[in-house]
């Protein structure tokens, strides 16, 4: 795949060297959340912005923010707080002072894409007149000489995250420390050359001691995995040590319409906290992304190189690869309505990309008839509605396999594999500025995302590509976010789910890594199949931003997991661990997204 991708990029780049490029916003950052919030508060969808297809480009984000700034009569001066009269307050401007502050800061941080250089804030006190020329960037270089074609932009920043936690488990497992330390350190580099080639690199060295539910997943002999990471080492003190690298190059093949990105990283498709289509839960993966934006339509072709499941206890060795082709089309059918159509194919060839899957046309799954029925096909639809400038409703519907005669029958055939998501967001609840809530319901049938074998399932590096729970569950999530002042962020998140449990040698369809050919029965498969597990998780977090992208985090998590198997015998199900776990944490992070463990 990589050789073909490099050839495609080389040919395209030679044909498009006069056009521009961009870099991408980090998934899960406050900037991504701000875009979603401001789009809803504006009362209409933006044709050049697709908040449900992450990561979003910095160029598109800044263009959107400058539009919002102009529309809401926000002062052009970064440091100036505009004094508004009552008439101005009651006209177009519906943004709070905190929104204005966040907007200005985000434009300045991505000032290489601002219409005017005056949008960038420069530091009053630099380090040796060389470092921190801007408050955001350790090294900031920008030269513009269009006549000699020597314009260049470069930013280098440290990436640091240190978290100390104290956990309590009931019952207390032996050999597990209650004191947990997470340490990540590295750097990120982004920039562009001559407005033609954008580039990004992030390198971090990580040492983590997980809360017990996450530790039990990483230590699971059947499927060892560190959430979000690939290769790792486990030290004698139960520290998980791994190196994480991501990066890409980016350019426009057709200016403002056809953009190409090639590299290694993560993706998320959806407007919810989870996704039926694709999440950033698994590790980085090599990818080629071709994104087309025309009229009210955004169309993405995503070509991925994945790693099949493997048993790490067998020792380290060269791992084979499988591949995936994803098509995602979104259409702003009205200024308040977005419709999306999704298709994914996962297929296994011995380290060779099936050339027919390079077909860029969506819903081309008919090629399965020629490529073998063992390939995994997923189809889906999505929708988003903006109402009253405060409310956003969203949803996804995914089908893996079904028969119409069985789907509407009452025998509960195991081959009816589908998932559904429905959610809503309410911004500025009861007109309280910057108080937002979100609620979501996710449900996935058993055996969904699994395949006939252990190769073509919808997974990567021993981790699901969609929801971390896998299949056979119903989950409800609620989150409250409040930013009372410009540098304080308060979040409360609650999760409750019910899931079936695979026990012994029985495959009840909840573990997506088990082939569905080994299903324990064909009919009578309900949404919660097998013994039931109940889990409730509550997380409270308070973050204080010392300066831009430097945060102090304080919070705690409570988790209770219960299932009854074999006449009352208590078990901890697919994710081994105590019945209850609680821990508090304190951390410092610089240019890093907060690491969460409340996903299962």
Would strands 550-565 and 569-571 be described as parallel, antiparallel, or unpaired? antiparallel
* pLDDT in the model for residue 568: 37
Look up residue 52 and give its two tokens: 């449900």
Q: What is the rounded CA–CA span in Å between residue 219 and residue 173?
A: 13
3-class DSSP assignment, residue 154:
strand
pLDDT at 456 (0 to 100): 86
Beta partners for residue 192, in sequence order: 153, 198
Residues 144 and 111: beta-carbon distance below 8 Å: no
- What's the rounded Cα separation, in Å, for the pair 219 and 239? 11
As a three-state string, the secondary structure of 223-250 is CCCCCCCCCCEECCCCCEEEEEEEEEEE
At 85 the pLDDT is 34
Per-residue pLDDT, 118: 56
Looking at residue 327, what is its pLDDT?
A: 95
- Which residues are registered as beta bridge partners of 187? 158, 203
Q: Along the chain (600 residues), what's the average pLDDT of each consecutive run of 10 residues?
A: 46 46 86 94 90 91 90 58 38 76 90 71 74 84 67 91 91 78 94 88 93 81 80 80 94 88 95 95 94 93 92 74 94 96 88 83 67 78 95 95 70 88 96 96 95 88 93 96 96 96 84 89 89 93 93 95 59 53 94 86
Give the integer Cα–Cα distance in Å for 207 and 204: 10
Residue appearing with tokens 């562009």 = 192
- Residue 495 class from Cβ within 10 Å (0-12 exposed, 13-18 middle, 19+ buried)? buried
Give the CA-trace dihedral at 500, 505, 506, 508, to 10 degrees. 40
Q: What is the DSSP string of 169-211?
A: EES--TT--SEEEEEEEEEEEEEEETTTEEEEEEEEEEEE---
CA dihedral 133, 134, 139, 140 (to 10 degrees): -90
pLDDT of residue 406: 67
What pLDDT sits at residue 566? 46
| Cα distance between residue 538 and residue 523, in whole Å | 36
Cα→Cα distances 84→71, 72, 95, 107, 582, Å? 15, 12, 12, 22, 47
Residue 416 is predicted with a pLDDT of: 87
The answer, yes or no, to whether the previous bond of 171 is cis (omega within 30 of 0) is: yes
Give me the DSSP letters along 420-452: EEEEEEESSGGG-TTEEEEEEEEEE-TTTT--S
In this prediction, residue 110 carries a pLDDT of 87
49's tokens: 């912005």
What is the CATH code of the structural domain delimited by 2-590? 2.40.160.10
Between β-strands 233-234 and 197-208, what pairing exists: parallel, antiparallel or unpaired?
unpaired
Q: Dihedral sign, CA of 454, 600, 163, 103?
A: positive
Instruction: Give the C-alpha separation, 87 to 426, whole Å.
Output: 26
Residue-level pLDDT at 33: 94
């Amino acid at each position: 795949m990589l050789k073909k991708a490099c050839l495609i990029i080389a040919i395209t780049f030679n044909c498009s060297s006069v056009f521009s490029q961009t870099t991408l916003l980090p998934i899960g950052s406050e900037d991504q959340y701000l875009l979603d919030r401001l789009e809803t508060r504006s009362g209409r969808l933006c044709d050049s912005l697709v908040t449900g297809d992450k990561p979003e480009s910095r160029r598109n984000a800044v263009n959107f923010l400058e539009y919002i700034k102009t529309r809401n009569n926000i002062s052009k001066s970064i440091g100036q707080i505009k004094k508004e009269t009552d008439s101005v307050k009651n006209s177009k401007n519906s943004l709070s002072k905190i929104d204005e502050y966040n907007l200005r800061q985000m434009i300045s941080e991505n000032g290489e894409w601002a219409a005017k250089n005056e949008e960038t804030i420069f530091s009053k006190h630099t380090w040796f007149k060389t470092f921190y020329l801007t408050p955001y960037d350790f090294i900031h270089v920008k030269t513009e000489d269009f006549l000699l074609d020597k314009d260049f932009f470069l930013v280098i920043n440290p990436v640091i995250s240190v978290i100390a936690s104290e956990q309590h488990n009931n019952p207390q497992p032996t050999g597990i420390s209650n004191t947990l330390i997470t340490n990540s350190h590295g750097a990120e580099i982004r920039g562009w050359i001559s407005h033609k080639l954008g580039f990004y690199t992030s390198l971090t060295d990580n040492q983590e001691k997980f809360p017990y539910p996450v530790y039990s997943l990483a230590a699971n002999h059947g499927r060892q995995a560190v959430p979000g990471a690939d290769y790792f080492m486990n030290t004698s003190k139960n520290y998980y040590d791994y190196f994480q690298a991501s990066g890409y190059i980016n350019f426009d093949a057709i200016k403002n319409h056809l953009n190409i990105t090639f590299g290694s990283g993560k993706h998320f498709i959806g407007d919810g906290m989870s996704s039926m289509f694709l999440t950033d839960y698994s590790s980085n993966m090599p990818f080629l992304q071709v994104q087309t934006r025309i009229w009210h339509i955004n169309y993405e072709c995503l070509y991925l190189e994945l790693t099949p499941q493997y048993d790490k206890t067998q020792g380290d060795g060269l791992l084979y690869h499988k591949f995936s082709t994803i098509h995602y089309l979104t259409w702003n059918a009205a200024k308040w309505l977005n419709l999306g159509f999704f298709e994914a194919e996962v297929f296994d060839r011995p380290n060779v990309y099936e050339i027919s899957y390079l077909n860029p046309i969506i819903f081309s799954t008919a090629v399965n008839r020629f490529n073998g029925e063992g390939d995994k096909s997923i189809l889906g639809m999505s929708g988003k509605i903006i109402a009253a400038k405060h409310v956003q409703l969203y949803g996804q519907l995914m089908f893996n396999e079904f028969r119409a005669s069985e789907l509407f029958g009452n025998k509960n055939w195991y081959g009816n594999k589908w998932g559904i998501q429905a959610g809503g967001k309410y911004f500025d609840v009861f007109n309280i500025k910057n108080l937002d809530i979100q609620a979501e319901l996710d449900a996935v049938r058993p055996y969904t995302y699994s395949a006939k074998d252990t190769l073509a399932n919808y997974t990567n590096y021993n981790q699901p590509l969609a929801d971390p729970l896998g299949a056979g569950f119903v989950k409800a999530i609620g989150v409250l976010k409040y930013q009372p002042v410009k540098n304080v962020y308060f979040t409360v998140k609650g999760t409750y789910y019910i899931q079936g449990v695979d026990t012994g040698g029985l495959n009840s369809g909840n573990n997506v890594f088990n082939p569905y050919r080994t299903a324990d029965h064909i009919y009578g498969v309900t949404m919660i199949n097998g013994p039931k597990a109940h889990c409730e998780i509550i997380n409270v977090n308070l973050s204080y931003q010392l300066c831009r992208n430097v945060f102090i985090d304080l919070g705690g998590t409570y988790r209770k997991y219960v299932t009854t198997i074999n006449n009352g015998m208590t078990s901890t199900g697919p994710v081994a661990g105590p019945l209850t776990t609680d821990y508090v944490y304190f951390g410092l992070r610089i240019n890093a997204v907060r690491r969460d463990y409340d996903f299962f």
